[in-house]
Amino acid sequence: MRPRSIVFDLFGDYIRYRGGAARLRSISALLDCFGVGDSTVRVVMARLCKEGWFDAHKSGRETVYALNSDSLRMLDEGRDRIFNPVREPWDGQWHMVIYSVPEAERSIRDQVRKELAWLGFGALASSTYISPHDRLRQISEHFANEPAVRLDLLTCQSGGVDTDREMAARCWDLESLNADYTEFLTTYEPRLGQYRRGALTPMEALVERTQLIYDYRKFPFRDPDLPLELLPQRWVGRRAHDVFIEAHDLLQEPAESYVDTVINQ
Q: What is the DSSP letter of 215?
A: H
The tens digit of pLDDT for each residue in 63-104 reads 999 999 989 988 888 888 888 887 888 999 999 999 999 988
Range 11-18 average pLDDT: 94
**Percent of the chain residues topping a pLDDT of 90:** 80
User: What percentage of the chain's residues is helix, strand, coil (to nearest 5)?
Assistant: 60, 15, 30
Instruction: State the Cα–Cα distance between residues 64 and 55, nearest whole angstrom.
Output: 8
Maximum CA pair distance of the chain?
68
Q: What is the DSSP string of 64-128?
A: EEEE-HHHHHHHHHHHHHHH----SPP-S-EEEEEEE--TT-HHHHHHHHHHHHHTT-EEEETTE
SS3 246: helix
- Domains of the chain in start order, with CATH, are 3-73 (1.10.10.10), 94-156 (3.30.70.240), 173-263 (no CATH)
How many CA atoms lie within 13 Å of 134's alpha carbon, on the beta-carbon side?
11
Mean pLDDT of 105-127: 91
| pLDDT tens digits, 164-178 | 999 999 999 999 999
Q: What is the pLDDT of residue 74?
A: 86
Q: Pick the residue with more confidence: 86 or 259? A: 259
- The mean pLDDT value for 223-231 works out to 92
